[in-house]
Amino acid sequence: MAVEAQEIARPETRRRARRARPGFVTTGLLAPPVLWLVIFFLVPVVLIALYSVNVFSLYPGGQYFTLDSWKNFLDGSPFLDLFWKSVRMSLIVSVAAVLAAYPIAYFIALVASRRKYVLLLLILTPFLVSYFLRLLAWKVILGDQGVINTFLYWTGIRAEGDPVSWLIYSQFAVILTLVYVYVPFVALPIFVSLDSLDRRLLEAAADLGASRWQAFRKVTLPLSLPGVIAAFIFVFIPTIGEYFTPLLVGGVNGTMFGNAIADQFGQSLNWLNGSVLSFFLLTVVALLLAVFARFLTVRRVATG
Amino acid sequence: MEIATSPNGTRLLKVWFAILVVFLYAPLLLLLIFSFNDNNLPVFPLRGFTTDAYRQFVSNPELKASIVTSVKVAALSSLGAIILGLLASIVLVRRDFFGRGGVSALLLSPLVVPYIALAIGLLVFFNEASLPLGIKSIVMGHIVVSIPYAILILVPRLERLDARLEEAARDLGAGALQTFRLITFPLLLPALVSAYLVAFVLSFDEIVIAYFVNGQVTTFPLYLFSTLRFPTLLPQVLAVACVVMAASAFILIGAEIARRVIERRLGTDLSESAAEPA
């Protein structure tokens, strides 16, 4: 899988740029994909916003503008605590995933020059294969009657019926599973930034008397930071809203913000409150994206 | 001096690489082992070899129905995603216009927006629009999340495509559509197939959006999720999980290798040889 990081060059700066065409061709080509996103992504976001201030409501006749749900939520509600707990867990997951993946990406990009695409494919394949089935695997492995605990009973390390209780239905289980799910994905953007590194810079650093460690700290690491930040964002943002991982292996302790949202729309049937939570999450995501946009929009991580 | 690592550093990196490969593959291997174990629960000790679980799932009508549903959803949504992704990619690569950055951000945003927010949004949307939930609503949601993957696969291919080929066709009198049909499309085909398969596998496995807008329809991951309440079905689930993961890996890796070979044969890649490892 060839992977590269270049800026998506603006057509006028490219050598073989096509002449500018009448605007209606561009518009015509662009309209279907953009409209699709507008109808099935942006319009729903606006609807969520309207539900969150009760301008829209599940209950006919009950619509009127109010910020009460927002006030309740922001005024120290348990949901807000849950949000911060999710942020903490996502931070741990993203940092752990980046730390685990960096040496892998470094090894593939800068050391294993011969078989690099094979090695990259080896790391990426689990990610491409399945999210849900890998979740299931961990539920089977970590359970009280799961692979690890029954192995411990069988070998006599633990007494039968005395499972290692924190293995499942804990924050640990959620964090471990999420790191497992995201490590391959994280390795990709880091690999891309390291692979596009100009090796001559390292040679120059060596010629100028830099040690390996100095060359890494002053050349390689700074130049790979955009990839590291992109990788971090690619894990951090989606995991704040994780739903199925906490549901399957999290139990009560491992619940995350996404579970609260699902619960409001599901069992509680409180779309007003659920919309407040959803729109809050979307706002946080939008803010994070705005802050980190330059690491995401100019770089592309692509299979080529 | 090899500046990237010292010999000891290389050894450490190799060890870490090996540890991570074990971490990534051991759970999958355990699933495989327990899918052949002669026990209704995935527990140690192993009792013996059996293929019962595989025979059971082949004759489980609900499971088969859910797979058929997911294949339909995936086939339709990935088709939609590559058509919309292709249109967007052509514009993003070949044309400059006001708002280009915003458009590309919008089209790529489903990569990072938590699926739960997308799923809830669709649920609210379909409810407000009084549209029924079912295969169609899942397909519409899956197209949204597959478009960015299609774009990420098609854009680099389009960028490396020699624009002079298209110009030559135009100079020889071909119209815009004819040029696309005879020149651009055939050259893009391997990347389109690649994008289709990635979107297909993504949709086949997707559960969050499917969970919220499925109506009465049960997709494959939703069926697996529903079986978690019935431990007796677990061996079948493990068996089918192994088959599906092996098939997905086979399809994706096979397609990737085929694409690289074909694109090299097509010989339109002026830059690829430079990007190849020495």
pLDDT tens column, A128-167: 777 888 898 898 899 888 888 888 888 888 888 788 888 8
The pLDDT of A184-207, averaged and rounded, is 89
Select the residue of B23, B91, B124 nearest A47 (Cβ to Cβ): B124
Question: CB distance A137–B241 less than 8 Å?
Answer: yes
CB within 8 Å of chain B, chain A residues 135-164: 136-141, 145-147, 150-151, 153-154
Q: How confident is the model at residue B277 (pLDDT cuts 50, 70, 90)?
A: very low
CA atoms within 13 A on the CB side of B57: 25
User: Is B171 domain-assigned?
Assistant: yes
Question: Does B87 touch chain A if contact means CB atoms closer than 8 Å?
Answer: yes
B247 backbone dihedrals φ, ψ, rounded to 5°:
-65, -45
The contacts of residue B166 (CB under 8 Å, 6+ apart) are: A18, B179, B183, B184
The whole-angstrom separation of Cα B37 and Cα B46 is: 6
CA atoms within 13 A on the CB side of A84: 7
Question: CB distance A300–B140 less than 8 Å?
Answer: no
Most confident of A163-167, B12-16, B271-275: B12-16
More confident site: A17 or B38:
B38
Tell me the one-letter amino acid at B74: A
User: Is B274 domain-assigned?
Assistant: no
3-state SS track over chain B: CCCCCCHHHHHHHHHHHHHHHHHHHHHHHHHHHHHCECCCCCCCCCCCECCHHHHHHHCCHHHHHHHHHHHHHHHHHHHHHHHHHHHHHHHHHHCCCCCHHHHHHHHHHHHCCCHHHHHHHHHHHHHHCCCCCCHHHHHHHHHHHHHHHHHHHHHHHHHHCCHHHHHHHHHCCCCHHHHHHHHHHHHHHHHHHHHHHHHHHHHHHCCHHHHHHCCCCCCHHHHHHHHCCCHHHHHHHHHHHHHHHHHHHHHHHHHHHHHHHHHHHHCCCCCHHHHCCC
A3 backbone dihedrals φ, ψ, rounded to 5°:
-130, 135
Q: B151 near A279, Cβ under 8 Å? A: no
What the block records as the tokens of B156 is 């680099």
pLDDT in tens, B218-253: 999 999 999 888 878 888 888 998 999 899 888 888
Q: How confident is the model at residue A14 (pLDDT cuts 50, 70, 90)?
A: very low
Question: Does A180 touch chain B if contact means CB atoms closer than 8 Å?
Answer: yes
Q: What is chain A's Cα-based Rg?
A: 24
Q: B245 near B176, Cβ under 8 Å? A: no
The whole-angstrom separation of Cα B44 and Cα A147 is: 6
For chains A and B, CB pairs below 8 A equal: 315
The whole-angstrom separation of Cα B190 and Cα B193 is: 5
Neighbours of A210 (CB within 10 A): 17
Separation of first and last alpha carbons in chain B: 19
Q: A34 near B103, Cβ under 8 Å? A: yes
- Total domains present in chain B: 1
Residue of B nearest to A206 (CA): B3
pLDDT in tens, A64-108: 899 999 999 999 899 999 999 999 999 999 999 999 999 999 999
What range defines the domain where residue B173 resides? 32-51+58-266
**How distant, in Å, are the alpha carbons of A107, A108, A290, B278 from that of A224?**
13, 14, 21, 22
pLDDT of residue B170: 87
Nearest to A169, CA basis, from A138, A190, A198: A138
pLDDT in tens, B169-198: 889 988 888 888 888 898 899 899 989 998
Q: How confident is the model at residue A117 (pLDDT cuts 50, 70, 90)?
A: confident
The pLDDT of B75-101, averaged and rounded, is 91
Percentage of chain A with pLDDT > 90? 49
Q: A112 near B4, Cβ under 8 Å? A: no
The whole-angstrom separation of Cα A209 and Cα B48 is: 62
What ipTM, to 2 d.p.? 0.88
Q: How confident is the model at residue B267 (pLDDT cuts 50, 70, 90)?
A: low
Question: Between vectors from CA B135 to CA B129 and to CA B136, what angle results, nearest 5°?
Answer: 45
The whole-angstrom separation of Cα B26 and Cα B42 is: 15
pLDDT of residue A2: 36
Q: Which of A123-132, A164-173, A200-209, B81-90 has the lowest mean pLDDT?
A: A123-132
pLDDT of residue B132: 93
Q: Which residues are A302's β-sheet partners?
A: A4
Percentage of chain B with pLDDT > 70? 95
Percentage of chain B with pLDDT > 90? 45
pLDDT of residue A198: 85
The whole-angstrom separation of Cα A258 and Cα A240 is: 7
Tell me the one-letter amino acid at A61: G
pLDDT in tens, B197-221: 989 999 999 999 999 999 999 999 9
Average confidence score pLDDT of chain A = 85
pLDDT of residue A25: 81
Average confidence score pLDDT of chain B = 87
3-state SS track over chain A: CCEECCECCCHHHCCCCCCCCCHHHHHHHHHHHHHHHHHHHHHHHHHHHHHHCCCCCCCCCCCCCCCHHHHHHHCCCHHHHHHHHHHHHHHHHHHHHHHHHHHHHHHHHHHCCCCHHHHHHHHHHHHHHCCHHHHHHHHHHHCCCCHHHHHHHHHCCCCCCCCCHHHCCCHHHHHHHHHHHHHHHHHHHHHHHHHCCCHHHHHHHHHCCCCHHHHHHHHHHHHHHHHHHHHHHHHHHHHHCCCHHHHHHHCCCCCCHHHHHHHHHCCCCCHHHHHHHHHHHHHHHHHHHHHHHHHHCCECCEEC
**What structural domains does chain A harbor?**
3-21+76-303 (1.10.3720.10)
- Can you give the CATH number for the domain in which B192 is found? 1.10.3720.10
Q: How confident is the model at residue B143 (pLDDT cuts 50, 70, 90)?
A: very high
Q: How confident is the model at residue A248 (pLDDT cuts 50, 70, 90)?
A: very high
Nearest to A56, CA basis, from B125, B202, B264, B118: B125
pLDDT in tens, B32-80: 888 898 887 777 778 888 888 888 888 899 999 999 999 999 999 999 9
The whole-angstrom separation of Cα B21 and Cα A122 is: 8
Among B120, B203, B205, B271, the strongest candidate for a mutation testing the A interface, having the largest count of A CBs within 10 A, is: B120
Question: CB distance B207–A132 less than 8 Å?
Answer: yes
pLDDT of residue A302: 39
Q: How confident is the model at residue B272 (pLDDT cuts 50, 70, 90)?
A: very low
CB within 8 Å of chain A, chain B residues 244-273: 244-245, 248-249, 252-253, 256, 260, 272
The whole-angstrom separation of Cα A224 and Cα A198 is: 11
Q: How confident is the model at residue A295 (pLDDT cuts 50, 70, 90)?
A: low
Q: Which of A198-207, A280-289, B42-51, B115-124 has the lowest mean pLDDT?
A: B42-51
Q: How confident is the model at residue A6 (pLDDT cuts 50, 70, 90)?
A: very low
Question: Does A292 touch chain B if contact means CB atoms closer than 8 Å?
Answer: no
User: Is B271 domain-assigned?
Assistant: no
pLDDT in tens, A31-60: 999 999 999 999 999 999 999 999 888 877
The whole-angstrom separation of Cα B166 and Cα B170 is: 6
